[in-house]
Amino acid sequence: MRIDILSIFPEMFEGPFSESIVKRAQEKGLAKIYIHDIRSYATNKHKRVDDYPYGGGAGMVMMAEPIVAAIEDLKIKTNYDAIVFMTPDGKVFNQTMANHFSSFENILLLCGHYKGIDERIRDSYITHEISIGDYVLSGGELAAMIVTDALVRLIPGVLGDETSALSDSFQDGLLSPPVYTRPYDFKGFKVPEILLSGNEKAIVEWKHQQAVERTQKRRPDLLKNGDL
């Protein structure tokens, strides 16, 4: 999978993408992630990428020109399955979307700032709009990092244990059951006996039961809407 990211703060990505799973995925050649500075596509003297909104109002708007120049330039070399705008008014990201996007070969993520981007970019270039939740961030960068992480860990071969993404919370529409490791007795609190029973079938059933109970208690909405 190739992920290109367009941002006016390219340095923000350095830490998160050079650690842990995303780092390993890149080292293994399973994920190719490229960060591009929108400002380098600005043609005006001061490398400005924003301007005042027509009709007035608070805040600045990201100009169409540099963003479109960047997208057009990237499109010369890469055929994108999705050109995604990270925005709080987009579709709220969930595991179903992550699974869907993880099958794509090439994705372009556009990070917005200020009051948004010129609507004409959305009209003519953007294929998907994603929000990571109902709150407003200072920019799309953190959202793009979150989406990238969620997609990269689903690429086959990225996680050491091939099955571990499948047992994540949300993959079957349920939260994950509780997990335990040694010691058996931690300050008087013991591991549930069933997990030591060696009875594989009973353990699978117990885990499922725990997952259902946990979901009912914490996220009953997941059981209702079938959206996952």
Interface with ligand ADE by CB under 6 A: which residues?
A: 86-88, 112, 131-133, 135-137, 140, 143
CA distances from residue 99 to 104, 148, 150, 164, 171 in whole angstroms, order as listed: 10, 12, 9, 14, 9
Q: How far is the CB of 130 from ligand ADE (least distance, A)?
A: 6
Phi and psi of 204, rounded to 5°? Answer: -60, -45
Looking at the Cβ atoms of 143 and 175, the one nearer to ligand ADE is 143
Looking at the Cβ atoms of 71 and 137, the one nearer to ligand ADE is 137
Q: How far is the CB of 76 from ligand ADE (least distance, A)?
A: 27
Q: How far is the CB of 112 from ligand ADE (least distance, A)?
A: 6
Whether 154 and 140 have beta carbons less than 8 Å apart is answered as no
Cβ neighbours of residue 68 closer than 8 Å, sequence gap 6 or more: 121, 125
Q: How far is the CB of 85 from ligand ADE (least distance, A)?
A: 8
Looking at the Cβ atoms of 87 and 102, the one nearer to ligand ADE is 87
Looking at the Cβ atoms of 3 and 143, the one nearer to ligand ADE is 143
Looking at the Cβ atoms of 130 and 154, the one nearer to ligand ADE is 130
Residue in the shown chain whose Cβ atom is closest to ligand ADE: 143
Length of the chain: 228
* Paired strand residues for 92: 131
Looking at the Cβ atoms of 112 and 158, the one nearer to ligand ADE is 112
Q: How far is the CB of 83 from ligand ADE (least distance, A)?
A: 15
Q: How far is the CB of 177 from ligand ADE (least distance, A)?
A: 30
